[in-house]
Structure 1
Amino acid sequence: MMLSPDPPGSDPPWGQTDSETLLDTLNAHCGSMPTEPARSVHVAGLSREEKRRRRRATAKYRSAHATRERVRVVAFNVAFAELRKLLPTLPPDKKLSKIEILRLAICYISYLHHVLDV
């Protein structure tokens, strides 16, 4: 036997549409059920973007995001340092910016490609 979903906008069979009234009715019939805070009832009516903004505004989310960003930046800098070690420069310990490292890497790869073609 297959059940069909209720058509959109249809009222529940017991005739109540308000979430708080429904929770009160369920509590009266089922005893003391834990109720969700009133704030969660209002969150359910928010759009996906509004929910995302609220979630991102929490201190816990911001802290976790900052930690992930620090780990990403450290990994990025380590990758540049490894690339820098592979590139020939004079003097060898010369400090290069990230863009200079990338440009030097492009030139060095072009040079090696030219050497292999000859």
Structure 2
Amino acid sequence: MMLSPDQAEADLSWTQSDPETMLNGLKSTGCTSDEQAEGEDRSKCKADPPLSREEKRRRRRATAKYRSAHATRERIRVEAFNVAFAELRKLLPTLPPDKKLSKIEILRLAICYISYLNHVLDV
């Protein structure tokens, strides 16, 4: 884009790539998307550009309610995962029977046990 020599730098504020500089510029005019502008203050602010889908998703995920719900879902998921490993562990023969196994050991032992059972069925 060619610029004429008489064009001021202030006219090019939208070309700044530094988000902090852009945010400071918005705050200095009193226009930020976080503030609720009313009445005359609203007329000073230009309309905020529509948010992209990704930006909407980021803002939604930044809320305390969303984080709390996500943490709850994650706890439930991990608990279900651990219950499944415990059930699989009960089905595997080990000596001693109450030996504590890691998740990777449970998976490896299950693979070996399934292979052994396949071999027994083939013979």
- Measured against the shorter chain, the TM-score band is 0.5 to 0.7
Match of 1:92 among 92, 97, 110: 97
Q: How does 1:40-79 map to 2 (within 5 A)?
A: 42=48, 45-79=50-84
What do the CA deviations read for 1:53-108 (whole angstroms, capped 9, x no partner)?
00000000000000000000000000000000000000000000000000000000
Match of 1:101 among 106, 110, 113: 106
Could you say which residue in structure 2 is the equivalent of 1:32?
Answer: none
Q: Give, in whole Å, the separation in 1 of the partners of 2:53 and 2:79.
A: 32
The two structures, once aligned, show a CA RMSD in angstroms of: 1.4
Give the 3-state SS of the residue equivalent to 1:96 in structure 2.
coil
Q: How many pairs are equivalent?
A: 79
Deviant stretches of 4+, over 2 Å: none
Q: Which residue identity is paired with 1:68? A: R
Unaligned runs of 5+ in 2: 1-35, 38-46
Structure 2 counterpart of 1:81, which letter?
A: A
Distance 2:74 2:101 in 1: 23
1:88 partner SS: coil
Partner SS, residue 101 of structure 1: helix
- Unaligned 5+ residue runs, structure 1? 1-36
Task: Percent identity, please.
Answer: 90
TM-score by length of 1: 0.64
Secondary structure at the aligned position of 1:93 is classed as coil
